[in-house]
Chains A and B, each alone.
Chain A
Amino acid sequence: MRRRNFLQILAAAGALGALPPAALRALADEGAGVSVEQLPPLEGDLTLYLGRGEGGLYENVLEAIRQRNPKLNLRVRTGPTAALANTIVAEARAGISRADLFWAVDSGALGLVAEEGGGHVLPEDITGQFDPLFSYPKWAPVSGRIRTLPFNTERLTADRVPDDIMALADSDLSVGWAPAYAAFQSFITAMRLLEGEQATGDWLRAVSRRARNYAGELGVVMGVERGEVDLGFANHYYTLRLKSGKPDAKVDLAFTEKDAGCLLNASGVMALSPSDTAINFIRYLLTREVQSYLATEAYEIPMARGMGMPPGLPPRDSIHPPDINLTRLADLRPTLDLMRDVGVL
């Protein structure tokens, strides 16, 4: 949906009154993003459940919001994303509502809460900020990470890397992977949902014959860089970070097209209470300042439309992730069963 169309729909729905005029002007300005300067101050009590992620940078964002809003009493409970999602569901079943917001590194956890009836439908000025592929009624994606194929630049050139993830099974390239890693399992879940169990099982079997296991995906990228394997499967930011610390690293990124190999998954936030403060807090996370902070400092992909990609990634419109409901990635059990059956886990 183009922004102008989006604004017309908002106007028709009467939703524009929810935002100050300056913010509306920013929305009308294609590509600018809303600035924090245009948002109302946050006041009152707010409890946020935060699934841990990105080594403290999310906390930096929260601290900055706190400092900017002295009348906001922000309480934060941190923990593993899945555990917090289960807590929210359990609290809801017990008739308790402790959290006003849930910021999760894993969209599957948001899906779990939403499926159980948790979360409030977000105003359209929020949901309309995203590419339709990433627009969900009850939660807003904040920042994303894309699956990539890091390859060793001394062993391969980009044109030798297939742009179809399924075709990799028929190539003779050696591969590094981290099957025990959650991001890898989400990638296989996406493949299972897009290509089916049989094709995914066949792919795993074929690739495993030329695969080397690593404990984590940074390890995969480092293994690729050392030339232990031709290429690997990893989220994009490991390569960008390695190249930041070692600019001459012999590794570059390749992307597949519209398949699980370039799955774009996202952290996201949902409002568990309908208060204005909770909704405005979500708007803060989507401001150009926060989005650009997460892009430059954590190499995460801004999910609000019109924001630039992290340094080192190609422009957003040259990357074509698959059309998949991210909340379905929580359906991990069949993936784990399949990986065990095939013997890669």
Chain B
Amino acid sequence: MKRFLSSMLLITACAAFQASPAYANGEIGEHVNDLEAHIDDYTGEVRWFLDEADTIVDRYESKPESADPAKLIENWEAVDFHAAIETSFVPVYASIWQGIFGVHDGIKQGKPVAEVREQQQALEEAMWQALGAVKLAAKYQAEQPVASDTSLAADPVATLSEVREQLDRVVAKYAERDLEAATSIVHDTYATRFEGVEGALIEQDAALVEDLEKDFNVTLPLRIEGGKVPVAEVKSVVEAMQVKLERAQALLREAEQNRRSVF
């Protein structure tokens, strides 16, 4: 897992600092350009956030009507750590939202305390994992110079890495319950990234392209539509797509190695 996190972070950290993508939750803040200098602040925020979450669940346990689960969302949107993880490692970011809504909905729906505690536990795990991810991203950020304007455009394999990263954002936005953003990322990712490389991919494996076309245009948008299915279900569609995209990358890498030279 650690190795997986490292390699994913290398990809996402590089991507995050070569561009300034727009995020749905407002200003990102300059702090994300120097993660290392802010690690102590982030650590403090994580502790504070989890303490507050614990207080909310404690209240729910002792006097259910006094618990205000909306505070969880407010607190999460107030911390700088939110932007730090969103720009560093989106899969964990999605898990945080999943945990927040797990606790929030559990309280709103009057579920047994044990079930809410389970969600709280998942939220805590996601938060600590996220802090680890930001620390790792900070390390890569310090080592990786910002790409210059003169670099060549991404090749198809790199484009598919961007596609995979965007799909993680889809899960994150779905977990945030921002269905419009989730749907729009799916469509944009298909039209501006995947569509540009599928011609090369279809030469290698036509069935794989057919499968991914269906995922992009039918399976995933249908899961997102209406926001009715659990985050885990959207995540599982995305994970299945990620596996196919990984295979696509391997095929394109191999094809590139076998390609004739220009001169």
Contact = CB atoms under 8 A, between A and B. Distances in A.
Given A50-B153, A218-B209, A244 B262 contact: no
Given A55-B200, A76-B152, A245 B206 contact: yes
B195 interface: yes
B175 to A, nearest CB: 25
Contacts, number: 91
A237 B199 contact: yes
A219 B262 CA distance: 30
A76 B123 CA distance: 45
B210 A290 contact: no
Interface string A69-105: 0000001111000000000000000000000000000
A55, A61, A289 pick with most chain B CB within 10 angstroms: A55
A242 B206 contact: yes
A64 B210 CA distance: 33
Contact of A78 (B153, B206, B260): B153
B203 A219 contact: no
Interface residues of B, number: 34
Contacts of A63: 152
B155 interface: yes
Contact of B190 (A59, A215, A244, A246): A215
Nearest to A79: B153
Nearest to A215: B217
B199 A56 contact: no
A237 B199 CA distance: 8
Interface in B122-166: 149-156, 159
A218 B209 CA distance: 10
Contact of B150 (A75, A241, A297): A75
B44 interface: no
A296 interface: yes
B203 A245 contact: yes
B152 A62 contact: yes
Contacts of A64: 261-263
A6 interface: no
A52 B196 contact: yes
B197 A55 contact: yes
B150, B191, B197, B204 pick with most chain A CB within 10 angstroms: B150
A249 interface: yes
B210 A297 contact: no
B205 interface: yes
Contact of A55 (B159, B205, B206, B260): B159
A246 B206 contact: yes
Contacts of A62: 152
B213 interface: yes
A59 B153 CA distance: 7
A284 to B, nearest CB: 9
B153 A242 contact: no
Nearest to A219: B213
B81 to A, nearest CB: 33
Nearest to A218: B198
A62 B216 CA distance: 32
16 contacts: A52-B196, A55-B156, A55-B200, A56-B153, A65-B262, A68-B263, A215-B190, A216-B190, A216-B195, A218-B213, A238-B199, A241-B200, A241-B202, A245-B202, A245-B204, A296-B260
Interface of B: 149-156, 159, 190-191, 195-200, 202-207, 209-210, 213, 216-217, 256, 259-263
